[in-house]
Structure formats: C-alpha cells, structure tokens
Chain A
C-alpha cells in the first residue's frame, strides 16, 4: 500500500501534461472531469495510505520510496525519494482534500473563462508540485516542489494576463518570494557543505552531534531557511506580495494563497525543527516575526474595503500565528492551526468567490449588504468560516487551534508573556475585522442585487468545508475540555512535543481571557458596523482617524517604503548604468571584429595572382619563424 505513494504527486502531474498538451482539443466537460479527477484520485490514494498509516504504521513511523537516483557524483548522492511520516501525511491529506474541493468548485467558478483547460493544467501542476514539496525526503526534491509552486503561483496570479496590473502582481509575488528563495538556496548549500547530504532525516540526525546549541553555523543555517520561509509565507518583511496576489482567480487565492502554498514556510521550519532547536536566537526571531506580522496584518485587515484583500491580510495574520507557535517550539500547534486554517480560509475564499461571482465582480464590501436572505447557503457556510476564523469558543475548529497556540506561548520555556499578549490582541482584532466583514456583506440593507445563486458544484464544497471548519478541531482539545490528543500524539512521532505543561486551571483562565477578547471583538463589530454605522463613518471621516485608516489600507506603507528604498534606487542605478563600461567593452569588441572583418576581407580579392603571393608570403613567414626563433 505504501508503495503507491508515488501515485500521489504523479497523478496531478499527469493531469497537467494531458491538459497542457491536449487541453485545447478537449471539450469543457472532459476538462472538468480530468482537472478535479486527477486531484481527487490523488486524494483518494493519499487517504487510503493515511488510513493504513493510522492502522498499521510503518517501522519508526516513516516510509521511504526511492523512485530513481537523481544525482550521483563523487561527494553527493541525491535520490528522487519520497518520504512518508506523520507530518507529510497531515500535509498531504489537507492539500489533496482541500485541493480537490477547490477544483470541484472551480469547474463552476471558471465555467465561462476562455482559458478553462489552461487553468486546470496550472492548478494540477500546482498540486503536484506542492505534494512533491511535502513528500520530498531530501531538500532537493523539496526545493523542486518549492520552486514549482512558486512558478504556478506566478502563472495563476497573472492568469488574466490581459490586464497589465495582474501581470505586475504576478511579477511582484514572484520577485518578492524569490528574495527568500535565494536565502533558502544558500541555506541548502550550507547544509550540503556541512553534512555532505541533502537527506532530511540524515541532516536532522547529524545536526545535534555536529553543532552545539547556538553554534554560528547552526544560527546561519536557521536564519537562511527562515529567509525562505518568510518569503513563501508572506511574513514580515516580505509580506507585501500576498495582498496583490489576490489579482488571480478566487479559487487560486483559496488554494495557493490561503490553504497550501503560503504554509510551505511553516512546513519547512517544522520539518527542519532540529536545526532551529540548535539556534535559540533564530527560533525566538521566528516567534517575534510571527507576533509582529499577525498584529500588523490584522490592523491592516481592519481598514480594507476589498473583500479578498481582507481575507489576504487575514491569511498573513493567521500565518503569523503559525510562526508564533513555531517560535515557542509548539510544532504540533502550528501544524494544527495550519490544518484548521486550511479548512476555514479556503471556505471563506470560496464563499467570497461565490459572492463576487453573483455580484458580477463586485469586491467592495461597502457596496454589498443584506446578502443573508438572497444567498442563504453562502451566508451560513461563510458564517461558519467566520466563526472559525474569529475562534468563536467551543463550537469551531479555529478556537481549539488558536487556543493551543496561545496556551503554548504562555507556558513554553521559550515563550513569553509578550508573545502571548500579541496573540490575544490579535484574537480580538481578528474577531473585529471578521465580523465587520460579515455584518457589512450579509446584514443591513441590500446595496447590490445578486444575479442568480451558486449551483451545487460551488455550494457542496462550501458545505463540506464548513463542516470541517466546525468539527475539525475536535481531534485535539485542551485538558479542561475533554483532553483529546489525537492530533498531537500522531504528530508526536515526527515532531517533539512541547516541553512544559500548565495546570488545567491556568488553561481555563487563558481560555476565558481569549473568549472575552473574541466576544468583545464581535460585539464591537456589531456596534460599529451594524448598529451605529453612520456614527462610525462620521468618526472615520475626521482627519486623524482617516490618516490612520489610509496607513492601514496601504498595509502600513511597506510598498511605499520598499519602492523608495529598493525599487527606485535600483531603477535609477539601472538607468544610469545603461551605457556602462562593461557594455562599452563588448560594443568595442563587436566594432573591432567588424573592422578586422573588413580588413581581412580585402585579402579575399578573388585574384589568383594575389592568392599565390599570399601563399608565398605565408611560407616566408613560417621560414622567418624558423630562422629567427
């Protein structure tokens, strides 16, 4: 059974090839079967394998399959090897299942698009690459997947390429993440030089022996890997690309920029946790980046008026929670939040897509309203996702995963009160911006009339995801609420557990505080955006709040700052350097070549006498060399 693992990434690749080369000759109906079908098949195999993994785990909770030897040089052997352990099982299941639902949804969402088969070709390629990323046994396979998903992200953000701004957004996403990728690549080189291998299990086993805690090489490696993670997961200071990435079709935002690809950074750090354990400074930095990002992005989400941008900032913020969890050593908590976030954020994006679809591409939440009655299926499922995002207590998956992170931040030996405080404030803000969105879109008077209702291809995935968003959290509950530890005990075979445990009383107290924060946020949103909407609008029109709103709307002005710090100096340098000396050298070479060409061509007179003289001169030259040498 385990030996079928190669099918999981291969089937989506096969779907990609089929659609890419034969897609334009296939009817739409066939494309709508092949695209989701490939991912569905992959999901089925993944689930079967996972079932066996739970029932009869392989020895050491890890299974390796080497498909072929990829590189075999004197010092370095790299196989094309897949690796199955609890971590990749969790990631693989979420990617394939959520990916499948989003593919099904997209058959309806993209129904009228002219690039139908191209879209599914890219989406299948993405799923294949993402699966390689999480199933790779060594860092080279991981890196192949890493770059593959980056490429697909670029292709799909710029999918509607006829609008120049979409192309610019795609380029921005690619370039900004590339900055992180370069750091990651250097980190991989460092690991190869240090350990002579790219196999992740071998590196994890060798690292504690080779490096002391806090050794400079360990810190350097961890920081370089963190650079890659920060770029891919849109964390400070490389978070600026994700809001613009919303230019892509909404299923893309749901799959790539919410549920899967952006969590690759979280996966990378969790996968290489032993390296970060050797570099406490880098680990602390992970936590600080997470806390700062979650707050900045949550504030920004408060000021957005574009439905998808709210969700984008919310994604950055939730990824910040995952980084926070990683930073305090709560690896399983980060993965748990990854899973629940994949459910509810995919749900929210797909819901948003359904709304935008029926409002004929309206994305401004201030022009929406009262959709509760007109789109009930979307409303109830979106509400479930919103409750999960806001971490409404007891009934949502988001509550259990976020609570685990906050608890870990408090009790972990490497955590501290500041990180916990940032998380708590973030929880309040999350509830506030989430329900600002819910109240503005679904409640109040109707502003734009929807056209038609989404069909079953869109609503069924919404319902499944809504169920997962509500129930998916019961695999891991705190000690005072049942104490189920299925998730962490399963992942405990791959990731070390948290060293410290707090008392149930402390846990209950922390839960109470976060509950207060969440309910306070929802209540405030209700006051500000439903009951006293006019008063809020008047207050926001005043100079000081308006300036703050604009700052937040622009995402704290990072784009402005980077434009002045990097883009403009670079463009200036490039402009100045247009006619640089290096070019002059090559131009000179070309000119000299042409001059010499002209001179030599004179010798080609076509004149036999001259040719004979030329031959004689040549002979004399040779003899001269003999004589004078």
Chain B
C-alpha cells in the first residue's frame, strides 16, 4: 500500500479502528463518558483525515474502493452528522440503560460502512458497506430490550433488509453472469451506453430495488414508518440521515460509471419510483399524528425529489443532489436533537401533541424547530429551499434540453411540495396551541441539555446559512464533484 493510498483510506481505517478501540476500552472501563469520548475522538480524527486526504486526487485502493473527492466529501458529511448523533446517543442512553458499550461499537461500525459505501467501486464493497450498516442497525433499533416497539422495529428491519439484500445480490449476480465482472468501471466499459439487453436491465432493476429499500423509495417504503417509530430517537436519526446519504452517494457513483440512466426502461423505473415516492410520502403524512412517522413519510418524499436531480445527471444533477443532501441532513439532525432532548424516560416525545404550546412556553426552541421544519418543506431562507430550487432547476433544464418526461417529474415536485406543506405546518400550528397552565405536555417543560443545545444551534444555523448564503457551499461542492466529469 502506497503512502497516497494510506492517506486516502485513513478516514475509513480510523472509523473501523475506533470500533476496535471501543471493544478494547470495554475491557478496561465501561464508563459511558469514556466510551462516548473515544467515539467522538475517533470521528473527529476521521474528519481531520478527510481534510488531509482531500488535496490528492482520486486514489484507487484495492479493486474495491476508489477514494476520490466525492467519496471524501460524503465521508466528511457522514462524520459530521455522526458527531452530532453521538452526542444525541450519549444524552439518550444516559439514564435509560447501563449497557452502553455495544451501542457505540455498532454505531461506529455502521458509520464505517457508510464511508465504504460512499467510496465503493465494486459490488463486493457495495455489499460489504451495506451489510455493515444493516447488521449494525438491526441491533441498534432493538437496543432497548425493555421496549417492545424497539424489538419489533429491529425484527422488521432485520427481515425486510435481508429480503432487500438478497434481491440486490441476485441482481449483482445476474450482472456478473452476463459480464464476468463486478467492478463498476469494468461494467461501465462493458455495457454500451444506452443499449442494455434484458438480462443486464433485470440485474440493474434488482439492484435498484435493493437501493430503493434503503432509500425508502415507494413502493419499497412500507417498513420505514414502523421502524422510524419503534427505534430509539438517535437510531432513527441514523437511519434517516447517514444510511440514506451513504446509499445515495453509491447510487450517484454507480450510475455515473454505468451509463444506463438514459436507457428508456431504467428511466421509466426511476421516474416511476420518484413520482410514486413524492406522492406516497406526501399523501401518507397528511393525517399522521406521530412525529417520527411524519419524518419517515417526509423522507420518502424527499428521496423522491432527490431522484429528480439524480435522473437529470451530469455535473449539475450531482451538484444539486449533493447540495440537497447537505441541507437536508442538518435539518433532520436538528429535529432529532429536539426529539431526543425533550423525550422522557418512558417514551420518546414523538407525538405531535407533545409539542402543543411550545411556542408560548419555549419560544426559542419553537423558532428553531419551525426553521428546521420549513427547511424540510422547502420554504425560502432555508437550505431546503435552495436545494429544492436547484433540483427543480436541473429538472427544468433537462426538460428544456429535450426530455419532456421531466416536466412530469417537476410537476410532481411542485404538487407534492404543496401537499407536504400541510403536514409540516400542522406541526408548527401545534406549537401555537393554547394549553391551560399546569396541563402542558411534559415534553415541552423538559430542560434541554447543553450538548443538545449546541447541536441544535449549529444545525439550525447551518440550515439558515445554506438558505441565505449558499454560494460558498455550492462552489465547494461543484469543485469536489466535478472531478468525475473532467
């Protein structure tokens, strides 16, 4: 292994190494603080390693991984969100369970899986990364053994993710049977652009189904609300942010190398998934009274919007999608921070009714929560708006460039956003309910710990910053992403 390869791989090594270190630490002390501290240190070190690796260009590390700027960008993003989620996990676990060591090991392993996904260049690495995430998440979702809902969520995720992985593997096997390779680049040269035979297309379609499961694209979204609801709040946060961002990075990379996106059949598949997700997500959320389930449906819809940018392709599509995720992740992180901070021992504060009167009792929290929700809804002055704007822009440019099908996608985006606004604003409306003194929901009276306040402040500021001054971030993203298209 050369020095360059080592530098490039260092973030992944550090993440995996943190998991190992945590195992060893458990032998010495089971202190929650020490465990969480080691985790944070590992993630911070990985973040530093990312910045050190950035200056060098794309570096192939074995046949499995290609660590380029795109991969590092996503790894850095995942590590940042991971740091926030670690703090949340610390707050959540403290006082709820004494067995904390395994949690952080699984958490770090899942994060390492995400980093592998973001840089994989081979179906084997893809599978490895995916399973690192999935297997860790089964256990994490069911981590509170005293909570039947958590156990149920873990079980559902285990079975369904197993099905999805099987389908994905079968798709990869079909491709291997047809071309004799599982490396993305080799597949890309072997498959003539736009001309796929049924075997290839079926293989890709099965892979897409597996990816669709992870991204909760309709009709593979059925599991999402149940798992979101049952899993502990920080784990739900992990499923909603890190696992999706990593899988989406893989999707972008795979289809940038394998030129099948424009094939009519695959285009139809992706367009169907996008439109179905946008409508299913937004419609299902309408009357939902559980905040976690609302977030599940919201993520279904948001992944549908993201697919539009993905379908448009080219640098503009990749930049739009990456910016969209960059704005989407802190918004979700902030919401899960609030959810975690205001949750009680017995159950998470995941009913919308738990937030009734928040604006009167805790105006600052209500303001931050509103900003985050409005960003998910894509209202101006938030990063969500800029993200949605760029997604719509790429869709419209693609439509004008000669693919009229994009008009339908952009239309779905517009109509879906309008429908979705209803349930976001319904939550904001609950903040302004008047509750008689002494009968407020317990959640809104709880103290927000300092760590949560910091995470919440930073993520809210990030959302606003991306909404008001998106220029710097856009420039940075386009610098990092354009490497692919040179």
Contacts and interface: CB of A to CB of B under 8 A. Distances in A.
Contact of B272 (A593, A597, A604, A625): A625
B283 A622 contact: no
A500 interface: no
Given A593-B283, A604-B225, A629 B264 contact: yes
Interface in B208-226: 208-209, 212-213, 219-220, 222-223, 225-226
B155 interface: yes
A588 to B, nearest CB: 13
B269 A615 contact: no
Contacts of B213: 615
A349 B83 CA distance: 69
Interface in B222-281: 222-223, 225-226, 264-265, 268-269, 272, 279-280
Interface in A597-624: 597, 600-601, 603-604, 606, 608, 610-612, 614-619, 621-623
Contacts of A610: 222
Given A622-B205, A623-B202, A612 B163 contact: yes
A627 B209 CA distance: 15
A1 interface: no
B283 A600 contact: yes
A608 B155 contact: yes
A622 B279 contact: no
Interface string B196-211: 0010011001101100
B156 interface: yes
A614 B222 contact: yes
Contacts of B209: 615, 618-619, 622
A523 interface: no
Given A611-B156, A611-B160, A622-B209, A594 B222 contact: no
A595 to B, nearest CB: 9
Given A594-B287, A626-B265, A618 B279 contact: no
B167 to A, nearest CB: 6
A608 B156 contact: yes
B208 A600 contact: no
Nearest to B201: A626
Contacts of A204: none
A604 B284 contact: yes
B155 to A, nearest CB: 7
Nearest to B158: A608
Interface in A567-602: 593-594, 596-597, 600-601
A629 B266 CA distance: 9
A618 B219 contact: yes
Contacts of A608: 155-156, 159-160
Given A600-B284, A615-B213, A625 B198 contact: no
Interface in A202-261: none
A618 B219 CA distance: 6
A24 B286 CA distance: 43
B296 to A, nearest CB: 10
Given A622-B269, A625-B265, A626-B198, A606 B219 contact: no
Given A608-B159, A625-B269, A629-B268, A597 B222 contact: no
B202 A619 contact: no
A421 B343 CA distance: 84
Main SS class of interface, B: helix
B219 A626 contact: no
Nearest to A592: B283
Contacts of A616: 163
B160 A615 contact: yes
B286 A594 contact: yes
Contacts of B283: 593, 596-597, 600
Contact of A593 (B167, B280, B419): B419
Nearest to A604: B225
A623 B225 CA distance: 26
Nearest to A612: B163
A622 B222 contact: no
A604 B265 contact: no
Interface in A332-380: none
B318 interface: no
Interface string B418-450: 010010000000000000000000000000000
A618 B299 CA distance: 19
B159 A619 contact: no
Given A612-B163, A621-B219, A597 B286 contact: yes
Interface string A161-173: 0000000000000
Interface string A397-417: 000000000000000000000
Contacts of B9: none
Contacts of A627: 198, 202
Contacts of B284: 597, 600-601, 604
Given A604-B222, A622-B205, A615 B163 contact: yes
Of listed B163, B219, B272, residue having the most chain A CB within 10 A: B219
B44 interface: no
Contacts of B287: 594, 597, 601
B15 interface: no
Nearest to A619: B209
Interface string B107-139: 000000000000000000000000000000000
B164 interface: yes
A611 B223 contact: yes
A622 to B, nearest CB: 4
Contact of A626 (B163, B212, B269): B269
Interface string A538-561: 000000000000000000000000
Contacts of B155: 608
A583 to B, nearest CB: 15
Contacts of B225: 604
A55 B283 CA distance: 73
Nearest to A629: B265
Interface string B387-420: 0000000000000000000000000000000010
B279 A617 contact: no
A615 B268 contact: no
A50 B284 CA distance: 68
B448 to A, nearest CB: 28
Contacts of A622: 205-206, 208-209, 269
Interface string B143-179: 0000000000001100110011001000000000000
Contacts of A606: 226
A624 to B, nearest CB: 10
Contact of B222 (A596, A615, A625): A615
A623 B160 contact: no
Nearest to B267: A629
A619 B419 CA distance: 27
Contacts of B272: 621, 625
Nearest to A628: B265
Contacts of B212: 618
Given A608-B159, A623-B205, A626-B201, A596 B268 contact: no
A618 B269 CA distance: 11
A629 B269 CA distance: 10
CB-CB nearest 3 A-B residue pairs: A618-B219, A629-B265, A626-B201
5 contacts: A604-B225, A614-B220, A615-B163, A615-B220, A623-B202
Interface of B: 155-156, 159-160, 163-164, 167, 198, 201-202, 205-206, 208-209, 212-213, 219-220, 222-223, 225-226, 264-265, 268-269, 272, 279-280, 283-284, 286-287, 419, 422
Given A611-B226, A614-B222, A616-B163, 11 more contacts: A593-B419, A597-B286, A604-B226, A604-B284, A608-B155, A611-B223, A612-B163, A619-B205, A622-B208, A625-B265, A629-B264
